[in-house]
Structure formats: structure tokens, C-alpha cells
Chains A and B, each alone.
Chain A
Amino acid sequence: MSKELLTVENLKTYFFTASGVSKAVDGVSFTLEKGQTMGIVGESGSGKSVSASSIIRLLPKIGKIVDGKIEFEGKDILKLGKKELLNFRGKDIAVIFQDPMTSLDPVFKIGNQMVEMICAHQDISKKEARAIAVEALKKVGIPQPEKRMDSYPYELSGGMCQRVIIAMAVCCKPKMIIADEPTTALDVTVQAQVLELLQELQKEMNTSILLITHNLGVVWKMCDTVMVMYAGKTVEYAAAETLYRNPMHPYTWGLLDSMPKLSDKVKEELKTIPGTPPDLRLTGTGCNFCNRCPYAEEKCRAEVPPLVEIEKGHFIACHRQNKTEKLARGEGKKNG
């Protein structure tokens, strides 16, 4: 049996808006192995969430997967029928969204929602489903799980709601969990707890996790591999350790530089990447990052850089970084 759980090949998800075609995800490829965690990082609008939604085929009406292949345990996800898709969502892949308060239905009790989901995927009675739900709530560290089953979501804090959602996600023992910025809406102290909980459950069930975040700190803590996305494209893709030790794409450098460090002087301004991401309707003629890149050359504007394996397992899409020519980090700052 192969180790790969999910293979995404050349995925292109476009949004057909009234004012043109927006290339939200434009040729993204990656693989996720069993029991591993992969991080997707990038700023807002880089296509992280759309990639995730594409995997479970839950796109808004104007969004379409125009090209590519998504394979899950050898099944072609893009060819699944309606019924198979319902079984795939929730059972094979569970999703944890950013805002726990809106991911639970506000007008139904927590227990009701959990039982409903369990019964949708497993052929068991409501009573058995309830027992599974209580067990799951206990496992994610919710005090008085029996009592909480009869609570409405608004009666719980954000962190508690996120635990409920995680409990719901693991009830059906999914092979993979997509966590779409699971901690963004939570307090810093609760963030760490939720991430630890995810890691524990992963170890226990040997689940794979696709973690979408813009927090590189979370990536170092959680992930085995990382993909950095920018304007719908993969700019760098490597093992987390490799990326930590030797980041190579100028955009990744920018992301790393904009992380505040403890060693920074107080009152020093936060570093940012100057400029704004390009209009996704106009991308695809050159390197998407060229207008903000301090190292950009003529070629960067004229030609789309291919994703090349620069060292084993380390992919990068940059004209200035290849086997013959190497950029040194910080070199271009003076003209940037």
C-alpha cells in the first residue's frame, strides 16, 4: 500500500466573476502522506482556502475546478458522484474552519448536531451515536460532556466551540483533517491548547492534517512539509525542516522577516512586504511576485517561473534561484 493519502496535481480553480476570470488557484500540486501534517502558508487571498475547498469540492457557485487531478487513496475526487461525495465529506475528510462560532449551527443543540453528523456517516442508532459523541467530547477535554450535549453553541466560549468542532470531526474517524486557520479566531493561550489537541488526536488515529495558516510559528510546531503559496501559485514547497533551515524564495524571506521576534527592539516598526498582491484576474504572464520582489529582473516580468526541484525535496519557483545562480538573502534590500 502506498504511503500517499492525498495527491493534488496541477489543480486550477478559477472564479468566473462578472468582471473576468480570477485565477484563485493556478496550477498547484502537492502530496500528503498518511499520518503527516502539511502546512499551506501565504497571505490572505493567496489561494490557501480555495485549495482546501477544492479538495472537498465545496466551492461557491462562481468557482470551478477547470483543470487538474485530486486523488484520495487512489479515488479520483473530481469524478465522485453526489452520493459518494457526501460520504467523502465528513467521513474521509473532516474540515475545521476558522471561526468556530459560525461553523456550528446556532439554532440546534450541540448534541443534536453531533448525532446528526454521526448518523449521516455510520449505520447506527441515535443512542449509540450519542454515546460516541459524549466520548468524543470527553476526549477533546470538554468538562461535563453529558451536560454540554444539551447546550447551544452560543453558550460556549470560542475555544470550547472549536473543541466541539474537533470532537465532531474525529467522531467519524476521518483519514484526513483540513484545518483552515483553526486558531485565528481564538485567544493566544487557547490557540496552543487547540493545536496540541490536534496533534494528540493525530498521533492516536494516524490522521493526516492539512493545516492552512499564515502563522509560520504554527508551521514549525506542527508540520512535516510546507507549501508557500502566493497569488494562486506555489512559490516554495519543502520539508518544514528544510524550509526553516534554508528558505530560498524571496517571498518566503519576506514572510519570515515580517514575523515579530522577541529579540526585536521595543518600538521598532514591524517589517512588512511592501506593495499589495496582484489582481488575480491579471496574473499568469510573469512571476506573480515580481512587482513586490526586490530581486526582480526583466525575465521575472516576462516569463512564468516553473517550479523546479533545487535540492532533494525542495521545490521553488523563482528565476533568480536555480542551480547555477543563487541569491543571497538580504542582497537586494538596497534596491528594494
Chain B
Amino acid sequence: MLKTILKRILQSIPTLFIVITITFVLTRMIPGNPALTMLGPQAPKESVEQLEQELGLDKSKGEQYIMYLKQILSGDFGRSYSYNQSVVELIMERVPNTLVITLTSLFIALILGMIVGIVSAVRQYSILDYIFMVLALIGVSMPIFWMGLMLVLLFSVNLGWLPAMGMGDPANGMWDVLSHMILPCFCLATIPMATFARITRSSMLEVVNSDSVKALRARGLKEGVVIWKHALKNALPPIVTVLGLQLATAFTGAILTESIFSWPGMGTMIVSAIDNRDYALIQGVVLFTAIVFVAINLIVDVVYTIINPKVNYESGNGGR
């Protein structure tokens, strides 16, 4: 097992290298000049040139790339010019804010989505199943920015029940924090919840109609045990795959939702970094995202071997 994990970590190095290169090229392709953006359009030419020199932007693109690589290898993610703070510090500051809403919403989405999926599968073609699946279809197809705005319109503007933006302050009590979380979490949970419901349903259907479940029923086990213990464990692998992907995105923030609700997380930071042509910050955030994705994929693979002992990566013949 340990050998496999080590091997996977080594294998991820080329992936990360490609990510670094692509982000470097793409950020340099965005039109606009960071020095000019920072100083404003009216700034004198000399100050702009001076700033470019300070930031190392006067060098050729090739030289900049080599410099950046050296920096990364020495563990330095660089300094954000727009925030005037180190990129690592900024990420560490923002990630917890983001996780508060993304993990909460993911947790709600997972639990509710799985329950809905299981009930739908067990009562396939019942009215409940149809209602759930139509709701799930609406859930996955609804544009998140539109839904966010509608939620603000209804609950903040018209009804005035919930705040429309910001994060709330624990100093003002628990409710202040919670009330600020409700709308963004609801907004963030819809799509994953619908996805979980659909994937659980299809995976469960396959299991529930299998001979294995028929044999379990023939043993005289209670229906609850058959469905919630045996069938569910058999149906878990695709759910874990989706959960892994969702978990990875949870760290990188929800750009749309955070922007709508002005949530001070990773999403809003990335938007401002792009607006300000803050090369170091963009590159840092993208690299951070890539590392999180690679790590979570590895964790998902390890979890697979636990829920399905037949999957054995070491012998090289994994899969069901």
C-alpha cells in the first residue's frame, strides 16, 4: 500500500509541472499590464517602467518562466502584488472561509442526495421516484448565478429574512454567522445534491436488482439490513468518486456563489487576482488547486480499497 502511494505521488509530479507551465503561459496571454493596472491609467511612463523592473516583468518571457520554476522548487509561491502579501499566507487565510460554506453544503448535499437516491431506487417508478428525479433534473440544470440572485431577491430583498452578503461575525452571536451561511450554502448544495441523488439512484438500482441482493433476501434478513447495509456498501464506489471530485472543488472555492454573496473566500480572491493581473497569485492558486486535486484523487483510491476489498492496485488488476 505504502509503495503504491509513493508511486502515485511521484507520478503526480509531471502533472503538476504541466499545470505550472500552462498557467504561466495563460496568465501571460491575458491582455493588460500588471504594473499599469496597479498604478492606474494616468500613471507616468517612468513609474510604470520602474515597477515592471521591480516585479521582474521587463525580462523576457523565457527568463521569467525559469525564474518562476526556480522559485517554486525552493518552495516559494511568490508574493501577490495587489494584496502585497505572500501567496501562501493569502491562501491559508482564505481557504478556511471557503471551507466553511463548501464543506457544509457538500455534507448536506451528500446526506440528502444519498437518501433521495436510495429511496428512489428502492421505489423505482413510484410517484416519489418521479418527483425526486424531476427535482434532481431541475437541480443540475439550474444556473447557479441565476438561482443565487433569485434567492437574494426573495429572502433578502422581498422578505428581508436573511442577509444578502458578507460572512457575519462570531462576535455578534451564532445566528449572525449561520444566517449569513444559509443562502450561499443552499446555492452551493443544489447541484451536488442533485448529482449525488442521481448517481446513488443508478448505482443502487444496479445492486438492488442483482442476484446478490436476492440471495440476501432469501436468507431472511430484514429489508433495512439488505438495503442500508449490504446494497449501499456495494453501491458506494461511484458515489465516492463523485464525492472526491466535489471535495477537491470545495477547496478551490465557488467563484460564482462567493461573488454573488461577497463571501471572502478563495473564489472572490481569484476573481480579483485576475482583474488585477496578479500573476503570482493566479499561478499560486491554480497550483494549489492542482495539488489538492491530486491529493484527493489519491485518497479516493485508498478509500476504494477499503470499501471494495476486491480492488487491489498493488497487483495491478484493480477494478471490479
Do they bind each other? yes
26 residue pairs from A and B, CB less than 8 Å apart:
A58-B217, A87-B220, A88-B220, A89-B217, A89-B218, A90-B220, A91-B220, A97-B211, A97-B218, A102-B211, A103-B212, A103-B215, A105-B212, A105-B230, A105-B233, A105-B234, A106-B310, A107-B233, A107-B234, A107-B308, A107-B310, A116-B221, A116-B225, A154-B309, A154-B310, A168-B219
CA distance A117 to B234 in the complex (A): 18
A30 at the interface (CB under 8 A from B): no
Q: B230: which A residues are within 8 A, CB to CB?
A: 105, 107-108
CA distance A104 to B220 in the complex (A): 14
The reply to whether A104 and B212 contact each other, CB–CB distance below 8 Å, is yes
B307 at the interface (CB under 8 A from A): yes
A interface residues, Cβ below 8 angstroms from B: 56, 58, 60, 86-91, 94-95, 97, 99, 102-108, 116-117, 120-121, 152, 154, 168
CA distance A86 to B225 in the complex (A): 12
**Which single member of A58, A60, A103, A108 contacts B233 (CB below 8 Å)?**
A108
Q: Which of B211, B215, B222 has the most CB of A within 10 A?
A: B215
**Which single member of B219, B225, B307 contacts A89 (CB below 8 Å)?**
B219
B115 at the interface (CB under 8 A from A): no
A107 closest partner in B (C-beta): B233
CA distance A280 to B233 in the complex (A): 37
Kindly state the interface size class of chain B when it binds its partner. Answer: 20 to 34
CA distance A56 to B220 in the complex (A): 10
Which secondary structure characterizes the binding site on chain B? helix
CA distance A108 to B211 in the complex (A): 16
Q: A152: which B residues are within 8 A, CB to CB?
A: 309-310
Q: Which of B211, B215, B219 has the most CB of A within 10 A?
A: B219
Distance between B67 CB and nearest chain A CB, rounded to angstroms: 51
B214 at the interface (CB under 8 A from A): yes
CA distance A105 to B225 in the complex (A): 12
Q: B225: which A residues are within 8 A, CB to CB?
A: 116, 120
CA distance A121 to B218 in the complex (A): 12
B216 at the interface (CB under 8 A from A): yes
B232-251, CB < 8 A from A:
233-234
Distance between B83 CB and nearest chain A CB, rounded to angstroms: 49
Q: B216: which A residues are within 8 A, CB to CB?
A: 105
| 9 further contact pairs, Cβ within 8 A, besides A97-B215, A102-B210, A102-B211 | A60-B209, A86-B221, A94-B218, A94-B219, A95-B215, A104-B212, A116-B225, A117-B219, A154-B310
The reply to whether B218 and A56 contact each other, CB–CB distance below 8 Å, is yes
B209 closest partner in A (C-beta): A60
Q: B307: which A residues are within 8 A, CB to CB?
A: 107
B233 closest partner in A (C-beta): A107
Interface string of B289-320 (1 = CB under 8 A from A): 00000000000000000011110000000000
B230 closest partner in A (C-beta): A105
CA distance A32 to B245 in the complex (A): 56
The reply to whether A120 and B221 contact each other, CB–CB distance below 8 Å, is yes
- Given known A106-B234, A107-B233, contact A120–B308 (CB-CB < 8 A): no
Q: Which of B209, B212, B220, B310 has the most CB of A within 10 A?
A: B220
CA distance A120 to B215 in the complex (A): 15
Q: A91: which B residues are within 8 A, CB to CB?
A: 220
CA distance A94 to B19 in the complex (A): 58
Q: B218: which A residues are within 8 A, CB to CB?
A: 56, 58, 89-90, 94-95, 97
CA distance A107 to B308 in the complex (A): 6
CA distance A108 to B310 in the complex (A): 11
The reply to whether A102 and B219 contact each other, CB–CB distance below 8 Å, is no
B217 closest partner in A (C-beta): A58
CA distance A88 to B220 in the complex (A): 7
Q: A121: which B residues are within 8 A, CB to CB?
A: 220
CA distance A94 to B219 in the complex (A): 7
Distance between A95 CB and nearest chain B CB, rounded to angstroms: 4
CA distance A89 to B309 in the complex (A): 29
CA distance A201 to B219 in the complex (A): 18
Distance between A103 CB and nearest chain B CB, rounded to angstroms: 4
B124 closest partner in A (C-beta): A61
**Which single member of A86, A90, A102 contacts B212 (CB below 8 Å)?**
A102
